[in-house]
Structure 1
Amino acid sequence: MMYTLKISEKGQRTVWLPSTIHISGQMEVLFGSYSAPCCFISRSDNQNEIIISNDLAKKLKIPFQSHVCLFLDEQSVHLGPLIGIFTAGFKKSNIRPIGKRTFFFAKLLAKEKEVGGFTFIFGAHHINWETGTINGYFYTKNGWEQFEVPFPNVIYNRLPNRRTENEATFQQIKYKLKNEYLIPWFNENFFNKWEIYRMLQNHPSALPYLPETHAHPTEEMVQMMLKKYKHIYMKPADGSLGLGIYEIIEAKDKNSYYCRYRDEYEQNRLRKFPSLSSLWREIFTEKKMTHYIIQEGIPLIRYKGRQVDFRIHTNKNKSGQWQVSAIAAKVAGKGSVTTHIHNGGIVKTLDEIFEHEQERCFVTEKLKKAALTLSHCLEEKIGAAVGEIGFDFGIDKKWNVWMFEANSKPGRSIFTHPKLKKYEELTTTLSLEYGVYLSEQIITNPEAIIT
């Protein structure tokens, strides 16, 4: 339940609670990692308000009046929660403090009024280890403002890319906050394609959705896979945005091979080679194949002659349950090896792809079932808190669903479609709802949290 938190100049070390909350006398009140002894007084009116004396608000470093949740454990009352979003790429600007990503974070933080609590973004240089505080950026009615607040109840990792995430500084910060301060993180790492496949291939519920995949491809492995499937994909295990992906196709006469990819000039290429050996020598000899995977090619359904795949977002809600939060189709650009927008791909709704309602409902249910099944499987195998996943699925000509990729920090490009805007709002709201849920769990039921 949400309450309006107000700060009063009256009284000292006092919190006035609604009459529906039966607490009185001396106890501790907490905000994030900060705590203070105080006196709780139950008010006689029916207002859904929590009032805190100004001296106590300052001591706890509560930045301003807002809407909050209240959680109880055996010895204390927790106000908040305080959710920190960890990222990088800050600029010296009060208008656009995170550069091009400022608008995304503004939309995300604007949702805190709907779920309760305080949400802020911060980077490595905003942490004050000596005082256990963070100079966090809050999105208020006045725009972006910085306030010094305690360490948060939970942290949502929104580092922009794998390179940044793998830097020693960020790894040390995450380790310290997680293991020394016992602050749970969610979506704490980017997914690796091979690691995800390796986890899921041992899960019987996930196995029907997995195309055959192998790590560290060799020319012999490509030959074996082509003999079996006629076309395959080579993908960087840590890739994103469709970069570095190659499609290899064996010609029908088996006397030549085609390779489709995007070159260094960002042009889609289709090249023909007289043999697999000549293709391998020219395209892959100088690449570090230990960073690649090879994957079975799936004969996908098409829209106006072009391949279609599907992006499905799943989120955990305020009850900690998985739900499908967005579905979109992506149509490949002309000559493109992927359906990514920067490769010429086009976002479509399922209504636009499937004109007949019965067919559309059939596909929607298959995609939802696959997404929810795999969300549960991944959470079980990863063994860490996951609040959102973006899946890339394909559907073959026999209507089987295949998982090509799972993303722990899914892109937002599908929401450029005007009919998908409402789902963008839903995904951002659910991310904060899960932060509230995780905070409540760590306070009221800490043994249930996987660390």
Structure 2
Amino acid sequence: MRKRIGILTYRGETGFVEPGFLSRLVKEGVKMGAEVFLFSPQDVRYSIRQIRGYVPLETGWTSDWYDWPDIVIDRYRYYPLAKHSIYLPFRKQPWFRYANNRFSNKYRVHQVLVQDPELARWLPETCPYSKETLFSMLEQHRIVYLKPTNGTGGRSILRVERQSNGYMLHGRTKQQAKSKERLFSLADLCKRLEGWMESEKSGNEQFFLQQGLQLSLIPGRTVDARLLVQKDGSGEWRLTGMGIRIGASRSSTSNLHGGGSAVPAAAFLIDHFGREEAERIILECKELALKTVSRIEKHYGQMMEFGFDLGIDIQGRVWIIEINPKPGREIFRQLGQHKRYLQAVRRPLEYALYLANQIEEREQEQAQEQARTQY
């Protein structure tokens, strides 16, 4: 019997937030022999155990009523203020079997990872925002980042650079508008940062400070590595791919939809560090990713995929910048790696089907065991 996979995602008045990827996800699931549909919290009718699900047409989407899914992939990435109260209470309900557990905000994840001696060496200094912490970190580091705990896509991040005659700020707002200004005193800097947090936060969101790294392997550009690690159809973690992202000129981040570009990792690293050192860096990135996902699962439970944003500084040292449990995979399309992009789309479906089959096998074994005990 065909397995039924539900994709939990945000759907607003203008439709789905990442329609291209979600459409591809549904279509690939159908090719794999599954029944796949999208739904949002408002589409569930628990009393009749049915869901209004959505599937793509040539143009737009169509909806129908579907029976309860065998497994759900949580792809709910966005938290507009008006809808923020819907997702978390819904996700806490024990209605579905999920392929991926809920994660946490960026600062709490940092707190979990920094307790592991093996991982702490890869983590930049990270602290909750306060004036005192800002002063202290700017004394130690020429660059400090102000980041929101739930931000995505490089939005609402402010880069603060200490200069001889003041402070230079670069950032991008929630609406992706670029911001650049120079301030000349710590008092003015604090006032500006507090104004930024007030205008950029969602609800009661908090901000934290993070040590800036020397990631200018290309002068005037922010450079980092994006790794995608995913579970495959046998439940094992695999490195799906890796690429280098180069930020737009004078941008505070390297994000692709903020004007950045992508280049193949091996060629870029060989060009900057030589072959032997490049191979070491790539191996360290893979080791870091696999150790980190193991630690995360011990703390948060079963997960499915992660996008890692890794800094590689001018000395070749690797750093964890950010970890995203619901990552994009657009970097592979930018690199022209279409087979790898397709693999990145299919792996969550393969893992979901693996889980659904395991659940079915366990239920059959339990039914057989109950039947034996009755006689």
Give the TM interval when normalised to the shorter protein: 0.7 to 0.9
Aligned residues with identical type, % of pairs: 25
Residue 147 of structure 2 is aligned to residue 235 of structure 1: yes
Question: Match for residue 12 of structure 1?
Answer: none
Matches within 5 A, 1:130-149: 130-138=47-55, 146-149=63-66
Residue 314 of structure 2 is aligned to residue 397 of structure 1: yes
Question: Match for residue 2 of structure 2?
Answer: 80
Matches within 5 A, 1:239-254: 239-251=151-163, 253=164
Alignment partners' CA distance in 2, 1:90 and 1:296: 36
CA gap of 1:175–1:317, structure 2 versus 1, over 3 A, is same
Contact 1:269 1:335 in 2 (8 A): no
Question: Match for residue 342 of structure 1?
Answer: 257
CA gap of 1:426–1:272, structure 2 versus 1, over 3 A, is same
Contact 1:313 1:324 in 2 (8 A): yes
Contact 2:227 2:239 in 1 (8 A): yes
Matches within 5 A, 1:4-83: 79-83=1-5
Q: What is the letter of the counterpart of residue 403 of structure 1?
A: I
Matches within 5 A, 1:153-232: 153-163=70-80, 167-176=84-93, 179=94, 181=95, 183-189=96-102, 191-215=104-128, 217-232=129-144
Contact 1:159 1:165 in 2 (8 A): no
**Pairing partner for 1:89 from 11, 15, 20:** 11
Residue 185 of structure 2 is aligned to residue 275 of structure 1: yes
Alignment partners' CA distance in 2, 1:406 and 1:320: 20
CA gap of 1:232–1:132, structure 2 versus 1, over 3 A, is same
Question: Match for residue 172 of structure 2?
Answer: 262
CA gap of 1:380–1:445, structure 2 versus 1, over 3 A, is farther
TM-score by length of 1: 0.71
Question: Match for residue 20 of structure 1?
Answer: none
Alignment partners' CA distance in 1, 2:113 and 2:27: 36
Residue 288 of structure 2 is aligned to residue 370 of structure 1: yes
Residue 359 of structure 2 is aligned to residue 442 of structure 1: yes
**Pairing partner for 2:338 from 421, 424, 427:** 421
CA gap of 1:335–1:90, structure 2 versus 1, over 3 A, is closer
Alignment partners' CA distance in 2, 1:101 and 1:421: 18
Offset at residue 168 of structure 1 (A): 3.4
CA gap of 1:123–1:273, structure 2 versus 1, over 3 A, is closer
Q: Which has the higher strand share?
A: 1
Question: Match for residue 241 of structure 2?
Answer: 326
Match of 1:206, SS state, is: helix
Q: What is the letter of the counterpart of residue 299 of structure 1?
A: Q
Offset at residue 146 of structure 1 (A): 4.5
Structure 1 unaligned residues grouped into runs of 5+: 1-78, 93-97, 447-451
Q: What is the letter of the counterpart of residue 326 of structure 1?
A: G
Query: CA deviation digits over 1:134-156, x for unaligned, max 9?
Result: 23334589996645332111111
Offset at residue 286 of structure 1 (A): 6.5
Question: Match for residue 366 of structure 2?
Answer: none
Deviates more, 1:219-228 or 1:303-312: 303-312
Question: Match for residue 297 of structure 2?
Answer: 379
Match of 2:80, SS state, is: helix
Contact 2:10 2:17 in 1 (8 A): no
Query: CA deviation digits over 1:17-74, x for unaligned, max 9?
Result: xxxxxxxxxxxxxxxxxxxxxxxxxxxxxxxxxxxxxxxxxxxxxxxxxxxxxxxxxx
Alignment partners' CA distance in 1, 2:265 and 2:289: 16
Alignment partners' CA distance in 1, 2:23 and 2:195: 45
Match of 1:309, SS state, is: strand
Q: Which has the higher helix share?
A: 2
Q: Which has the larger radius of gyration?
A: 1
Offset at residue 374 of structure 1 (A): 1.1
Give the total of aligned pairs.
355
Q: What is the letter of the counterpart of residue 318 of structure 1?
A: G
Question: Match for residue 69 of structure 2?
Answer: 152
Offset at residue 161 of structure 1 (A): 0.1
Contact 1:247 1:260 in 2 (8 A): yes
Offset at residue 125 of structure 1 (A): 4.2
Offset at residue 169 of structure 1 (A): 3.3
CA gap of 1:361–1:104, structure 2 versus 1, over 3 A, is same
Question: Match for residue 293 of structure 1?
Answer: 208
CA gap of 1:316–1:278, structure 2 versus 1, over 3 A, is same
Query: CA deviation digits over 1:157-197, x for unaligned, max 9?
Result: 12240237963333343333xx2x4x222345464111111
Offset at residue 429 of structure 1 (A): 0.8
Question: Match for residue 432 of structure 1?
Answer: 349
Question: Match for residue 303 of structure 1?
Answer: 218
Q: What is the letter of the counterpart of residue 175 of structure 1?
A: K
Alignment partners' CA distance in 2, 1:371 and 1:104: 24
Q: What is the letter of the counterpart of residue 288 of structure 2?
A: A
Alignment partners' CA distance in 2, 1:121 and 1:266: 27
Alignment partners' CA distance in 2, 1:352 and 1:274: 41
Alignment partners' CA distance in 2, 1:91 and 1:346: 31
Q: What is the letter of the counterpart of residue 262 of structure 1?
A: R
Contact 1:126 1:134 in 2 (8 A): yes
Alignment partners' CA distance in 1, 2:178 and 2:10: 32
Match of 1:209, SS state, is: coil
Contact 2:224 2:310 in 1 (8 A): yes
Offset at residue 292 of structure 1 (A): 0.5
Residue 28 of structure 2 is aligned to residue 111 of structure 1: yes
